[in-house]
Structure formats: structure tokens, C-alpha cells
């Protein structure tokens, strides 16, 4: 290795490799092909309830690959903190290694910054790292006013690019990351064709978690024939989420950590 951050970059490269392998496996699996709809007419209420069916169980290997990805990203950040510490010690003419508690802090609680994790880092670099924290003003000030009024700092911090790293690495220490299919929006609602009934009112559900039996829509109908039912034209295009974070978000974190290393590279 010729640059102090080569080790950290290798970790990011490894994370990207896990992510690309995971994305390829998911794309080739056809996991969404079996998902469809079931429906039941409730005569007592004149409603047709549409639910999801055929949702597959996701391979545990996918969760392990996602965990390997975020663990490598966490290590890359810690490597960065370590090399910044070594640089600062060397410029002071000190030959010792950095303090063993050195770690890149990720703080989500209000008014908290674990500066003790960076005892040997130059104050200028400590200030930069603090400004990157999920609980600091640069991030929080960019949130919608309603979110700032009603959501807690830890809740908002989960939306920060570092949120998946701290959440998923902590969870991975204790169990396999929970994985499921999810959808981020309901913009693909299709046409409904009513048979032996007419629609009086429709209630659709923002169904984020794609699970067997989850309610997709409910129709209040006026019965006009012996077998009231509805043909559902909705298209379901779910994505895979690990520990509550969609895979696309984890992929974005890979890119962010890589860019952070590039930003610090001129220091050395």
C-alpha cells in the first residue's frame, strides 16, 4: 500500500463488491414474479378486500451479504480515523501509535459528540467529522419544518447517510439482519374492473412492507350480480430492504464513504 488510505479504500472496494454481487443475485432471482393478489367479498359489509399473496421468503444469504457490506463501510471509516490520528502524531514528532479507542464516531442522540473517540486527531479534522454527524446542524437544518417539529433527533438521524451504518452494524452484532420486500410508493395503482358490482368507494393502503396477507385495497361496492369481484390492474414492483433500509439506500452509502475518503486524501 502506497497511500495511508489504501486500507480504507480496500474496505470500500470490498463493500461495493458485496453490493454488486447482492444486486446481481436479486436481479436474477425473479423474486417478485410470484407476488399476486387474493380477494374476499364480505357480504355483510358489501366490501371486497384485496390482499397480497405469493410473497416469497428471501434467502438468508442476502442479509449476510448486506451485513458484510455495511461492516466493511464501518471499518473504512474507522481506518480513516486511525490514519488521521497517525498523521497528526507524526507531524508532532511523536512515534507512538494512536490511542486504541480511536474510532470514527457516529452520533444520533441530541447534543452528543464522542470526541473522546478521536483523541489524537487534529482539531480541524475533528471539527469536520463533527459537522458530518447525523445529529448536527448541517444535517438537521436541511430537514422539513414539520419533521423538525414532530420527529425526535434520533428518528431524523436515521435518515442521514450514516444512519444505515450505525443501525445495521449494531443489529448485525446480535442477529441476522431482517430482510423483506417493500415498496417506497404507491404510484403504480392501475385500473380496477368490477364484475357483478359497481364501486361505491375505494380505500387503498400505503403498503410499504410486502407480506402475505397484507391489505392492498378495500372496495365498498354495490352488488349487481351473483359473484361480485374485482380485477386488479395494479403492478407491484417491490425492492429488498434490510433492517428497514432499502438496498438502494445502502448502495448510496457505499458511494458516500468512498467520496469522503477522496475528500480527506489530500491531507496525506
Asked if residue 175 has pLDDT above 80, the reply is yes
Q: What pLDDT score does 171 carry?
A: 94
Q: What is the mean pLDDT of the chain?
A: 92
Give yes or no for a contact between 253 and 165, defined as CB atoms under 8 angstroms apart: yes
Cα first-last separation, the chain: 14
Q: What pLDDT score does 115 carry?
A: 95
**Measured between alpha carbons, how far is 134 from 261 in angstroms, rounded to an integer?**
18
Coil, helix or strand for 10? helix
Q: Within a 13 Å sphere around the CA of 177, how many CA atoms are in the beta-carbon half?
A: 31
Q: Is the pTM of this model over 0.95?
A: no
Q: What mean pLDDT comes out for the span 180-209?
A: 77
Rama region for 19: left / alpha / beta (φ>0; ψ in -120 to 50; rest): alpha
- Read off the pLDDT band of 242 (50, 70, 90): very high
Q: What pLDDT score does 259 carry?
A: 98
- Read off the pLDDT band of 187 (50, 70, 90): very low
List residues bridging with 195 in a β-sheet.
229
pLDDT tens digits for range 127-150: 999 999 999 999 999 988 888 888
The residue ranges of every structural domain in the chain are 6-267
Asked if residue 54 has pLDDT above 70, the reply is yes
* DSSP for residue 189: -
Q: What mean pLDDT comes out for the span 108-129?
A: 96
Asked if residue 85 has pLDDT above 50, the reply is yes
Q: What mean pLDDT comes out for the span 48-75?
A: 95
Across 106-178, where does the E strand assignment appear? none
Q: What mean pLDDT comes out for the span 27-46?
A: 92
**Measured between alpha carbons, how far is 34 from 53 in angstroms, rounded to an integer?**
8
Spacing of C-alpha 46 from chain mean position: 40
Spacing of C-alpha 209 from chain mean position: 13
Widest CA span of the chain, in angstroms?
Answer: 89
**Measured between alpha carbons, how far is 69 from 255 in angstroms, rounded to an integer?**
12
Coil, helix or strand for 190? coil
Amino acid at each position: 500500500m502506497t497511500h495511508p488510505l489504501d486500507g480504507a479504500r480496500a474496505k470500500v472496494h470490498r463493500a461495493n463488491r458485496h453490493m454488486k454481487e447482492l444486486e446481481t443475485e436479486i436481479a436474477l432471482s425473479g423474486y417478485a414474479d410470484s407476488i399476486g393478489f387474493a380477494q374476499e367479498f364480505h357480504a355483510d359489509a358489501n366490501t371486497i378486500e384485496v390482499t397480497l399473496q405469493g410473497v416469497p421468503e428471501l434467502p438468508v444469504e442476502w442479509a449476510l451479504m448486506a451485513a458484510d457490506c455495511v461492516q466493511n463501510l464501518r471499518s473504512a471509516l474507522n481506518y480513516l480515523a486511525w490514519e488521521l490520528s497517525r498523521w497528526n502524531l507524526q507531524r508532532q514528532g511523536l512515534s507512538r501509535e494512536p490511542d486504541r479507542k480511536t474510532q470514527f464516531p457516529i452520533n444520533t442522540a441530541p447534543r452528543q459528540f464522542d470526541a473522546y473517540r478521536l483523541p489524537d486527531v487534529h482539531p480541524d479534522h475533528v471539527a469536520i467529522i463533527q459537522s458530518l454527524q447525523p445529529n448536527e446542524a448541517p444535517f438537521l437544518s436541511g430537514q422539513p419544518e414539520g419533521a423538525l417539529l414532530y420527529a425526535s433527533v434520533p428518528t431524523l438521524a436515521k435518515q442521514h447517510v450514516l444512519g444505515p451504518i450505525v443501525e445495521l452494524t449494531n443489529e448485525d452484532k446480535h442477529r441476522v439482519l431482517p430482510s423483506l420486500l417493500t415498496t417506497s410508493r404507491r404510484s403504480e395503482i392501475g385500473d380496477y374492473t368490477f364484475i357483478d358490482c359497481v364501486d361505491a368507494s375505494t380505500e387503498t393502503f400505503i403498503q410499504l412492507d410486502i407480506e402475505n396477507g397484507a391489505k392492498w385495497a378495500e372496495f365498498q361496492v354495490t352488488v349487481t350480480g351473483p359473484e361480485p369481484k374485482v380485477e386488479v390492474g395494479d403492478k407491484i414492483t417491490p425492492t429488498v430492504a434490510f433492517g428497514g433500509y432499502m438496498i438502494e439506500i445502502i448502495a448510496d452509502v457505499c458511494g458516500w464513504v468512498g467520496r469522503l475518503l477522496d475528500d480527506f486524501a489530500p491531507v496525506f
